[in-house]
Structure 1
């Protein structure tokens, strides 16, 4: 959850007055503040390579300034490296507390009459666009961490969680074209995942669904914030075994296996989902020991569960502190204080309803 005071956290449990503001930065310099946002929305989906997308509607003329980007490459809303820092304001006792929703790269902007439309994406777009112009070959001293830094910096500064144990990269590794795919392969072999923080750096941490709930949501008519629920189930993308394969320095084939053994999992191995193993196989030359294969298999199983486990759609009063990955305590839709994690969400930038897709843990 993004940083909010206890007062603001209490306010957003019911009706409140909100406001939006944005700054534009280019090459590390502030070039405009208090950009007038008339409307817009933010969507995030952590199953996507670039999870964040923003759409903004801005009046063409406001505050004595012309917000039409026109043909000026240094205009605050042009798409030539401009980044927007967006804040969501909550009225607490007659003044606004501003919650930083993060930094976003302007990818498209244009004017239609008296309205300017702006589209932004998350900062991982910088990595996704930057294809390798020559093969990337780690040196003999490189580790998983230094490879990620080499692929990502200086576009994004990388920070590593202390729960990760770094290790050397096998000789002979090479990535030819897709920079972001190379980062993803390293993360998968490490049992890690990466996300861009509200401060604009890339945080790499172990794959995990555990943690105390940050917020309770309920459809209780007296105290709840949930307007309605939607549910769905599917066998698509469902596996009960993950097999991670690699090889050691002498060429011997290795593998580690992770079984879905959770007693309450509808896909659990040996349960009614299937009397036989339904495997997902993952292979990487970065896996050189059985232990590494097992760690990668376990992490991959958690990632697959995000796509296939029971999901609920939630429509609720907007909460500007929530982001995908946050753990919630959910009462409603047949659940009682069940732990759930946010997988995707939309947040309106004007008064309206917020939607979440949550997965039951």
Structure 2
């Protein structure tokens, strides 16, 4: 987003939504009339993104009831490209690309067409193996990821990740997305679909730079309401990652929660005893790999267990899950938080965001 648009979205503004429909690389419609809708993202789900649209059945002489397989709103491989517009004034609109989404359901009721679309990882999630998948002797983590995902999605690898070979004898029977998750856990790495529709595999981190200051100051804030939640469910203070050497010897590595800001830190008030989470994968063939996987798994577990705040605010189309924001309010002062879930309305409604508190 430009600095001009960023300044505008932190107060009331006029918005617009632009939706295109594509099928097999061909543009079917470039101006779908979106009357209402929303975009929901949740990093804890296998397919994190979900979009719903409400479209008038007839608009400007076009029938939007998908009665043919090549209709722009049919669910036979059609993909939507969504852009969110911010009115800059003077007849200018800045368009922010929200990404690509696969149409999964369409229904017509009277004069209204309802469309549901999912993130592009749904292409991988629904494509179960026809026969067991067995890597070859020349396969590496990178080549396995590409074999599991492409050509449904193009895979891009962050240059800071180190590729390595995989042991013989690996096999996955049916769950393609589950196989990808196991590879990422063992690497260790994280994956997300970018706004351009690529699957980016990158290191999993739990630190970052804030992209927005969220405050309940009535003179400058955009927050309407705070709601908090905390739970012991999914809370662990140590992760044990198990693997095996080429001769079958069992090995393991551990990672302890030693973060002084963590409410679950080892030796802290959460529990006087270790509370372990155990993972196991034959892709882990050294103690170093086990320790690295344990550390990354611990960071991933924090997404579900740490203190969370629900925020209602003016819609901000520049935000996505995984972004870092600085929060002042609800007992916090300039605390770094990361967005775990969000719901961005495609109309003049409040946006809701769930952030995980990293400090404070």
Instruction: Give me the whole-angstrom Cα distance separating, in 2, the residues matched to 1:291 and 1:227.
Output: 47
| Matching of residue 174 in structure 1 with residue 174 in structure 2 | no
Whole-Å separation in 1 of the counterparts to 2:250 and 2:224? 53
Once residues 21 and 345 of structure 1 are traced to their aligned partners in structure 2, the CA distance between those partners, rounded to angstroms, is 20
CA displacement 1:219-262 (0-9 Å, x = unmatched)? 11000111111001111111000000000101111101000001
Aligned residue in 2 for 1:75: 71
Name the CA distance, whole Å, in 2 between partners of 1:114 and 1:264: 54
TM-score, normalised relative to structure 1 = 0.98
Q: Aligned to 1:264, which of 239, 243, 261?
A: 261
Hey, what's the Cα distance between the residues in 2 that align with 1:175 and 1:336? 47
Measure how far apart 1:309 and its partner are.
0.5
Question: C-alpha offsets along residues 152-184 of structure 1, whole Å, 9 cap, x if unaligned?
Answer: 000000001112111101111111100000000
Q: In the alignment, which of 24, 28, 47 is matched to residue 50 of structure 1? A: 47
Aligned to 1:144: 141
After superposition, give the CA deviation of every residue in 1:109-134 in whole Å (9 maximum; x if it has no partner): 01101000000000000000100001
Structure 2 CA distance for aligned equivalents of residues 57 and 237 of structure 1: 36
Give the deviation of 1:93 after TM superposition.
2.0
Gap runs ≥5 in structure 1: none
Secondary structure class of the residue paired with 1:272 = coil
Q: How much is the aligned-residue C-alpha RMSD, in angstroms? A: 0.6
Aligned partner of 2:83 among 80, 87, 99? 87
Q: TM-score, normalised by structure 2?
A: 0.98
In structure 2, the gaps of 5 or more residues are none
> Match for residue 222 of structure 2?
225
Q: What is the aligned counterpart of 2:282 among 278, 281, 285? A: 285
Counterpart secondary structure, 1:214 = strand
Matches within 5 A, 1:115-126: 115-126=112-123
The alignment of Structure 1 onto Structure 2 pairs a total of residues equal to: 357
SS in 2 for 1:78: coil
- The aligned counterpart of 1:208 is 205
1:29 is aligned to 2:52: no
What is the alpha-carbon distance in structure 2 between the residues aligned to residue 55 and residue 78 of structure 1?
Answer: 14
* Residue in 2 that maps onto 1:135: 132
